[in-house]
């Protein structure tokens, strides 16, 4: 039976427009009259947005229940989207094993449900990054879902042959994808790629050329003579382990200690990032850090930066030059963190309260991670105020000589 109530269409539009506050009361009313899988799923998603985990789980379970009808009875009695969303709840609570079971159950119902495959990859990879017994090869294989789900587009070229990760070829172009942070993270593999190609092209923006001075660079693969191509974040397939990440350490001139602490801070990243609602903060939360040293901002375009000295960041070369003036960077999870890690620059990355990125592992890793030795992880205290309090405690220890940056 189809839902004819016009309020259902209105609620769906609110949900698609991220107006969860307006969608929630409509779905709450609708589920009483139309207790269908789709209604329960959307209501659960509204509750998940507001971090009401108990209610979100209640309605996701209702949507997953085989006895709960679809609006169209032609479909299967199991709802893959409900299983996937239950997996998201498990991931949020760092129960990655349970999340993987739920994602695999969703994929058993719909083998080409690429969102579920991508979510499975993220949970699986976070387990690997937490030193759990996970096959790294499976992490790389399932990561291909990012292309299938349409979230990542490659700007390739006709007649470009996909490299097989084992054959030596005359020339290859590394194709850009995702964000600068991803490129910096996977740049560590370029020196290993040299064993497989006589000539390497890197597709990149002009401001990123400083990273690839020993290679040929291009904005468009059409400009190259490469015969093979490989996606940037597929370079990990070259090795069976994660190599050292400080591949740009020769580009940073470290500040000479002068008795005072100069701290760079970044409180926000790309607003279009999928988890930006949770991973980005506000400058006001960082102001207590001024009790420990001079604060410099790496968010120069944002307002309300009184109390912070602004650093230049027009290009990555400028950013690297500015970082040489600092003792420490404290940042939310953005590309600056990856740059610091690649440079060997001391950096503390602040985890969001909800859905921390796979690469930093789960809370069992403490302040450690497998990608960068110079980056320490500050796990969320449940709010930005509590997390900054943890940072202040770490700075107290540093100031008292109990630990190093």
The domain spanning residue 25 has which CATH number? 1.25.40.10
Rounded distance, CA 350 to CA 331, Å? 6
Q: What is the pLDDT of residue 282?
A: 87
Residue 156 covered by a domain: no
Which residue bears the tokens 């102001």? 287
Q: What is the pLDDT of residue 298?
A: 81
Residues 225 and 299 in one domain: no
The total of structural domains in the chain comes to 3
CATH code: domain of residue 395 = 3.40.50.2000
Residues 131 and 56 in one domain: yes
Q: Are 41 and 85 in contact (CB under 8 A)?
A: yes
Residues 306 and 385 in one domain: yes
Residues 261 and 372 in one domain: yes
Residues 382 and 337 in one domain: yes
Domain boundary residue, one of 148, 178, 205: 148
Rounded distance, CA 36 to CA 235, Å? 44
Residues 373 and 337 in one domain: yes
What would the two tokens of residue 63 be? Answer: 């949507």
Residue 68 covered by a domain: yes
Residues 181 and 138 in one domain: no
**DSSP-derived secondary structure letter, 165:** S
Residue 231 covered by a domain: yes
Residue 227 covered by a domain: yes
Rounded distance, CA 202 to CA 199, Å? 10
Q: What is the pLDDT of residue 75?
A: 55
Domain containing residue 385: 250-399
Strands (E), 36-175: 161-162, 169-175
Query: 224 to each of 162, 163, 171, how far by Cα in Å?
Result: 15, 16, 9
Residues 62 and 140 in one domain: yes
Residues 19 and 141 in one domain: yes
Residues 44 and 167 in one domain: no
Residue 91 covered by a domain: yes
Residue 384 covered by a domain: yes
Domain boundary residue, one of 148, 176, 204: 148
Q: What is the pLDDT of residue 281?
A: 83
Residues 236 and 255 in one domain: no
Residue 378 covered by a domain: yes
Q: What is the pLDDT of residue 232?
A: 95
Domain boundary residue, one of 223, 241, 259: 241
Of 92, 30, 155, 122, residue with least CA distance to 354: 92
Residue 49 covered by a domain: yes
Residues 131 and 226 in one domain: no
Query: Which DSSP helix (H) or strand (E) runs through 203?
Result: strand 197-203
**How confident is the prediction along the chain (405 residues), in pLDDT tens digits per residue?**
567 678 999 999 999 999 999 999 999 999 998 889 999 999 999 999 999 999 999 999 999 998 888 876 655 567 899 999 999 999 999 999 999 999 999 999 999 999 999 999 999 999 999 999 999 999 999 999 999 987 677 777 678 899 999 999 999 999 999 889 999 999 999 999 999 999 999 999 998 999 999 999 999 888 899 999 999 999 999 999 999 999 999 999 888 878 789 999 998 876 676 666 677 888 889 999 999 999 998 875 655 567 788 887 778 999 999 999 999 999 999 999 999 999 999 999 999 988 889 999 999 999 999 999 999 999 998 899 999 999 999 998 887 776 776
């Amino acid at each position: 039976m189809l839902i004819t109530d016009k309020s259902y269409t209105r609620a769906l539009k609110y949900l698609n427009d991220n107006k969860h506050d307006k969608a929630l009361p409509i779905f709450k009313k609708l589920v009483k009259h139309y207790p269908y899988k789709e209604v329960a799923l959307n209501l659960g998603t509204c509750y998940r947005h507001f971090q009401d985990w108990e209610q979100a789980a209640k309605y996701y379970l209702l949507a997953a229940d085989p006895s709960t009808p679809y609006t169209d009875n032609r479909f299967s009695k199991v709802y893959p989207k409900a299983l996937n969303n239950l997996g998201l709840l498990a991931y949020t609570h760092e129960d990655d094993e349970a999340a993987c079971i739920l994602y695999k159950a969703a994929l058993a119902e719909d083998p080409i449900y690429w969102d579920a495959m991508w979510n499975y990859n993220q949970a699986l990879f976070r387990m690997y990054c937490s030193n759990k017994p996970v096959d790294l090869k499976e992490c790389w294989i399932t990561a291909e879902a990012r292309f299938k789900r349409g979230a990542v587009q490659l700007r390739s070229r006709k007649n470009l042959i996909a490299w097989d990760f084992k054959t030596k070829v005359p020339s290859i172009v590394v194709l850009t994808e995702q964000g600068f942070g991803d490129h910096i993270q996977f740049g560590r593999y370029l020196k290993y790629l040299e064993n497989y190609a006589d000539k390497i092209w890197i597709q990149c923006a002009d401001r990123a050329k400083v990273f690839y001075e020993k290679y040929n660079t291009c904005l468009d693969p059409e400009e190259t003579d490469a015969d093979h191509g490989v996606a940037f974040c597929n370079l990990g397939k070259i090795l069976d382990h994660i190599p050292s990440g400080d591949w740009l350490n020769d580009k940073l001139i470290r500040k000479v200690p002068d008795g005072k602490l100069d701290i760079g801070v970044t409180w926000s990243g790309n607003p279009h990032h999928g988890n930006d609602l949770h991973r980005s903060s506000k400058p006001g939360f960082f102001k207590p850090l001024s009790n420990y040293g001079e604060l410099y901002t790496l968010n120069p375009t944002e307002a309300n930066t009184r109390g912070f000295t602004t650093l230049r960041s027009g290009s990555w070369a400028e950013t690297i030059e500015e970082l040489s003036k600092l003792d420490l960077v404290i940042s939310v999870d953005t590309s600056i963190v990856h740059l610091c890690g690649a440079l060997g620059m001391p950096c503390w990355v602040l985890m969001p309260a909800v859905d921390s990125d796979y690469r930093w592992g789960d809370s069992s890793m403490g302040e450690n991670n497998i990608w960068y030795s110079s980056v320490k992880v500050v796990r969320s205290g449940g709010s930005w105020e509590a997390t900054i309090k943890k940072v202040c405690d770490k700075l107290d220890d540093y100031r008292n000589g109990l630990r190093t940056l």
